[in-house]
Amino acid sequence: MVLGIAVATIMMTWKRGRELLGARMKEHSPPLRPFLENLVKRPPLRVKGTAVFMNSSTSMVPMAMLHNLRHNKVLHERVVFLTVRTRDEPYVDKDERVRIEDLGGGFWRVIAYYGFMETPNIPRLIECCAEKGLPFEMEETSFFLGRESLLVVGLPGMSIWRERLYSFMQNNATKATDFFQIPSNRVVELGTQVEI
């Protein structure tokens, strides 16, 4: 019984922590559409290649993109916002794997769907994108990932001991590059500190 309570506590803490982290990130991230309209009107320097910004939200600007623009002041000629979703079914048919949307101005939205028994594989996903009309050249593609460092400050939402537990689990979770099977020499990680 004690073991069951411990496992349930860990699982509920992880779920609640992810919800709080998502909410805190959303507070600091502008809506995507108006942000892109502004970028098209006043574009930064565009460089060759493709930048893929992984993002859990399809409607908000990825923090990695904000940091990249703030620090490097450049944007790739083609920018892809990639969101990976898990469906409540064990497997997703290859024909339903990816949905692509042209946002204009060199910006694209890609939503990839996987079943709960599947492991996302970004190199294979790129092949699916090419089949649907969005080809990638892997050697000219950079993947930008956000890496959140959590600061436990006791904000409302969870008790302080659960925030510390979540921070510990977050720091020891599988790295996104490993989970999504992205070649490590194509990844740029941009960090941000988030208070929970």
| Model pTM score | 0.84
Residue 196 scores a pLDDT above 80: no
Question: Backbone phi, then psi, for 178, in 5-degree steps?
Answer: -75, -45
Determine, yes or no, domain membership for 188: no
Put the strands of the sheet holding 74-87 in their side by side order.
Answer: 98-104, 107-115, 74-87, 45-54, 141-151, 187-195
- Does the residue 139 lie in any domain? yes
Task: Indicate whether 154 belongs to any domain.
Answer: no
In-domain check, residue 118: yes
pLDDT, mean over the chain: 88
Per the domain annotation, does 89 fall within a domain? yes
Is residue 83 in a domain? yes
pLDDT given at position 78? 94
Does pLDDT of 112 surpass 90? yes
The domain total for the chain is 1
Tokens of 114: 């996987």
Q: Which structural domain range is residue 82 located in?
A: 30-146
- What angle, rounded to 10 degrees, do the helices at 2-27 and 160-171 form? 80
Q: Which amino acid is at 166?
A: Y
Does 100 reside within a domain? yes
In a domain, 159, yes or no: no
**Residues 6+ positions from 177 with CB-CB distance below 8 Å:** 145, 184, 187
Mean pLDDT score, 182-192: 84
